[in-house]
Structure 1
Amino acid sequence: MTAPRTLPLGALALSLTLATPILHAAPSDEGERTSSYNPVKITEPFDSIMQRMKDAKPSILKKHQALLEQRYDLSDRPAASLQMTRGKPIQEGVRVKLPAETNWAELAAMSPEDIRAKGLFPAGFMPLPHPNHPEGGMVFPQFHIDEVNRIEGRDLTRFDLDFDLPDHFLPEFPAPIFLTTRPDLGDVSQGKLVNIRNYFELFNGILNPKQLEGLRLLVTTFPQQQFNATDDRRSVHPHNGVACLDCHANGHTNAATHLAGDVRPQELRHRIDTPSLRGVNIQQIFGSQRALKTVEDFTEFEQRAAYFDGDPVMAAKKGVNVLERGSQVHFMGEFQALLDFPPAPKLNVEGRLDPAKATEQELRGEAIFHGKGACAGCHVPPYYTDHLMHNLQTERFYEPQEYNGVRAVGDGPIKTFTLRGIKESPPYLHDGRLLTLEDTVEFFNLVLQRNLDEQEKADLVAFLRTL
Structure 2
Amino acid sequence: MKNKILVSFILAFSLQAHQSAAQVPTSYSPVVDKEPFEAVKKRLSQQKPQAEERFRKLLNERYDLADRPIPNINMTRGKKIQGGVRVKLPRNVTWDQLANMAPDEIKQKNLWPAGFYPLPHELHQEGGMLFPQFHIDRMRQQEKRDLARFDISYQLPDHFLPEYPPAIFLTTRPDLGDVSKGQVVTNDNFYELFNGILNPKQLEGLRLLVRPTMQQQFNATADRRSERPSLGVTCFDCHVNGHTNAATHLVGDIRPQENRRRIDTPSLRGVNIQRLFGSQRALKTIEDFSEFEQRAAYFDGDPVIAAKKGVTILERGSEVHTMSEFQALLDFPPAPKLDVFGRLDPAKASDAELRGEQLFHGKARCATCHIPPYYTDNLMHDLQAHRFYQPRNILGRLTVPEGPIKTFPLRGIKESGPYLHDGRLLTLADAVEFFNLVLGTKLTEAEKADVVAFLLAL
TM-score by length of 1: 0.94
SS of the residue aligned with 2:81? Answer: strand
- Structure 1 residue aligned with 2:172: 181
Match of 2:280 among 266, 274, 289: 289
- Structure 2 residue aligned with 1:154: 145
Q: Does 1:111 align with 2:90?
A: no
Task: Look up the equivalent residue of 1:443 and give its one-letter code.
Answer: F
- Structure 2 residue aligned with 1:24: none
Q: Does 1:463 align with 2:457?
A: no
Deviation, 1:164, is 1.2
SS of the residue aligned with 1:70? Answer: helix
Match of 2:133 among 142, 149, 160: 142
- Structure 1 residue aligned with 2:367: 376
- Structure 2 residue aligned with 1:78: 69
Deviation, 1:113, is 0.5
- Structure 1 residue aligned with 2:383: 392
Q: Check the 8 A contact 1:85/1:176 in 2, yes or no.
A: yes
SS of the residue aligned with 1:330? Answer: helix
CA distance, structure 2, for counterparts of residue 298 and residue 382 of structure 1: 24
What do you get for the CA RMSD once the two structures are aligned? 0.9
CA distance, structure 2, for counterparts of residue 194 and residue 36 of structure 1: 36
TM-score by length of 2: 0.95
Q: Does 1:342 align with 2:333?
A: yes
SS of the residue aligned with 1:80? Answer: strand
- Structure 2 residue aligned with 1:7: none
- Structure 1 residue aligned with 2:257: 266
- Structure 2 residue aligned with 1:10: none
Task: Look up the equivalent residue of 2:152 and give its one-letter code.
Answer: L
Unaligned regions of 5+ residues in structure 1, if any? 1-26
CA distance, structure 2, for counterparts of residue 32 and residue 78 of structure 1: 48
SS of the residue aligned with 1:372? Answer: coil
Deviation, 1:290, is 0.6
Cα deviation code 1:203-232 (max 9, x no counterpart):
000000000000000000000000000010
CA distance, structure 2, for counterparts of residue 447 and residue 431 of structure 1: 16
- Structure 1 residue aligned with 2:9: none
Deviation, 1:29, is 7.1
1:292-311 to structure 2, matched below 5 A, reads 292-311=283-302
- Structure 1 residue aligned with 2:3: none
SS of the residue aligned with 2:71? Answer: strand
Deviation, 1:33, is 1.5
Unaligned regions of 5+ residues in structure 2, if any? 1-17
- Structure 2 residue aligned with 1:131: 122
CA distance, structure 1, for counterparts of residue 206 and residue 191 of structure 2: 9
Match of 1:39 among 30, 45, 59: 30
Match of 2:87 among 78, 92, 96: 96
Match of 2:185 among 191, 194, 200: 194
- Structure 1 residue aligned with 2:225: 234
Cα deviation code 1:7-33 (max 9, x no counterpart):
xxxxxxxxxxxxxxxxxxxx9478722
- Structure 1 residue aligned with 2:314: 323
CA distance, structure 2, for counterparts of residue 29 and residue 458 of structure 1: 56
1:427-446 to structure 2, matched below 5 A, reads 427-446=418-437
Cα deviation code 1:317-366 (max 9, x no counterpart):
00000000001000000000000000000000000000000000100000
CA distance, structure 2, for counterparts of residue 345 and residue 32 of structure 1: 58
Q: Check the 8 A contact 1:149/1:155 in 2, yes or no.
A: yes
Cα deviation code 1:38-74 (max 9, x no counterpart):
1110120000000000000011001111011000001
CA distance, structure 2, for counterparts of residue 51 and residue 43 of structure 1: 15
Task: Look up the equivalent residue of 2:77 and give its one-letter code.
Answer: R
Task: Look up the equivalent residue of 1:102 and give its one-letter code.
Answer: V
Q: Check the 8 A contact 1:379/1:418 in 2, yes or no.
A: yes
CA distance, structure 2, for counterparts of residue 447 and residue 147 of structure 1: 39
CA distance, structure 1, for counterparts of residue 276 and residue 126 of structure 2: 29
Deviation, 1:403, is 1.8
CA distance, structure 2, for counterparts of residue 202 and residue 414 of structure 1: 36
Deviation, 1:34, is 2.6
Q: Check the 8 A contact 1:127/1:411 in 2, yes or no.
A: no
Task: Look up the equivalent residue of 2:85 and give its one-letter code.
Answer: V
Cα deviation code 1:227-271 (max 9, x no counterpart):
000010000000010000000000000000000001000000000
CA distance, structure 2, for counterparts of residue 274 and residue 160 of structure 1: 21
List 4+ stretches of structure 1 deviating above 6 A.
none
SS of the residue aligned with 2:308? Answer: helix
Percent identity (aligned): 67
Q: Check the 8 A contact 1:300/1:329 in 2, yes or no.
A: yes
